[in-house]
Each structure stands twice: as C-alpha cells, then as structure tokens.
Amino acid sequence: MLRFDRVSVQFGYGRAALTAVDAVTLEVPAGTVVGLVGESGSGKSTLARAAVGLVPLAGGEITLDGASLAARMRGRRPVQMVFQDPYSSLNPRMTIGASIAEALPRGRSRAGEVRRLLELVGLSADRTGDYPSALSGGQRQRVALARALATRPPVVIADEITSSLDGSVQGTVLNLVRDLQRALGMAVLFISHNLAVVRYVSDLIAVMYLGRIVELGPAEEVLRDPRHPYTRSLLEAVPRIGSSLDGGAGYAETEPPDPHRPPTGCRFHPRCPVGPLVHADRDICLDTDPRAEAPLRPHRAECHFAAAPEPLRSRA
C-alpha cells in the first residue's frame, strides 16, 4: 500500500509561494490501478514526483506498507516512475540494453535479465544493441517500462505515458500496462488528463483539481454516478478516447483560477455549472470549504451538494 497522508508540496516562498499539492490523502492499494485524473496544472505530476523524491514535501508523509518511503528510498527504490516523454527518458548515447542493465540491482545476471525484461514488455530480446533513435515512441515507452520493472518494484507510477503517442499506439501501451499489472500483481498510480484513458485501466479513480483530490471512489461508481460537478463536467467533455480534458462542450467555460490565490470556500465555485453563479441560494460555496465534511459524502466528494447531485446545465 502506497499512502499519501496529508501531503503538501510548495514552490517558492512568501507571497509568491505556490501550493501545488494541498494536504492530499490518497491510497494506492497493493495489486490495484489507481487512476489520477485532472486538467493540466492540477498537481498530478507534482504528487507523483514527490513519491519518487524528485520534489520535497512541505507537509505530510508518504508511506509504503506503513513505513516512511523517504527512509526506504535510500536503498532499493520500491517506487519507480515512467515519465511522459519517451524521447527524453532514455540516454541517446546508450543502447537500450545498457539503459535497462544500468537499473538492475547488483548480483543479477544482467544479460539474461535484460532479455527477459525486453520480452516482458513485448520487444524482441535481439534489440538489446539498438539505440533509442532506432525505436518508435511506443517502443521507447516499452523500454522505459522495462527499466522501471528492473528492480521488481511493488509500485509503479505512470505519468501521462500515452499522451505523446498516436491513438493506435496508446491502446497497445494501455493493454501492456494492464497486462503487466495483472501478471506481476504490482500497484500502479496511473496519471492522465484523459478520462477515457483512465477509465480503461483503473480500479479506482481520483479526481484532482487545483491541488486537491475532489472525488475518489471505485472507477465504475465514479463514472456511473459522479458526485462532484467537476467530475461530471469532465465526463461530459470527454465522450471518446483521445479527447482532452482541457476544455470542451459541457465543461466550465472559464479559465482555472490563479493557483497562487485559490478561491475561498469551494475552489471550483467560480467555474461550477451548478454552483452560486447559477443558484443564488448556494452562497455556502463562496465562503465554506467543503473539505471538512468530505469523508461523510459519497466518493469523499469536496462538494456541499454531493449527496444529491444535480444534472449539469448551461449557464447561458
């Protein structure tokens, strides 16, 4: 179990400080895929980088099976990450075999293990001598997955790993991730701005907005009966695979607020299609933070009206 316990990440100091992740609590249970979805700038990738030690915590703790992850990272790294850009994640001057071998723990038969890992991700073992320039984007992402699996980690974080790939290649990589997760029994935190992609691979879905988790639950339940208006807007905006969450019909028309100065009350209220801009009597959204009561609501939704969701409608 990978657990984020009230984790905060801050960049800068004083008035210029930006809280990119704001006291997030999230669990990634063993043997499951948790999809983390939200538009660009919501804090998804920052949370992922905190898990692998690439950004420091401003508050909270990250644990693995109850033990501090920071302490465990000093030895074998139990959480591995696959990054978004397959063209910059591999050293162009190293063969793919050398790149994978570099990640292997000492004492393992390197040549045999490299070949096994390549075959595991669907590449020919004969390609160990190839350089990244000889590979397509999808093939490079497979090599990146092989590198991540070299230490046999219990947790893998996949950060937007299909966003730069063609549609047909996306499906192949998604199938690979799902098959590897099931075969190896590892936990996966799968991050994307594309809800259709997250829907395809996830057991649980967490929706992130402006540094917070605003809805969390089993994937089927969240998709069938979303309780936060942001989640419902995203579902209406992404009717098909390959669509982006950033904009679209049915989605809030306004730009996200300045993350340096998040709105008071509910952070989504300036964009909410069923909030105080539509219902004048919902002034609670303007000045009362819905986070405190979230554990009592369906899907832990940070919305004052999550218990009785209202169908979205245009504000025009």
pLDDT tens for 94-120 read 999 999 999 888 766 688 999 999 999
How is the chain split into domains, by residue range? 2-78+153-300
Percent of the chain with pLDDT over 70: 90
pLDDT tens for 120-160 read 999 999 999 999 999 999 999 999 999 999 999 999 999 99
Specify the 3-state DSSP secondary structure of 75: coil
Report whether 228 contacts 243 (CB < 8 A): no
pLDDT confidence of residue 243: 45
**Spans of the chain, pLDDT less than 70:** 73-75, 107-109, 238-254, 310-316
pLDDT tens for 235-253 read 887 654 444 444 444 445 5
* Domain 2-78+153-300 CATH class label: alpha beta
Strand partners, 24: 7
Chain centroid to Cα 301, Å, comes to 18
Q: What is the pTM of this model?
A: 0.90
3-state DSSP: the chain helix, strand, coil percent, rounded to 5?
35, 20, 45
HSE toward the beta carbon, residue 199, CA cutoff 13 A: 18
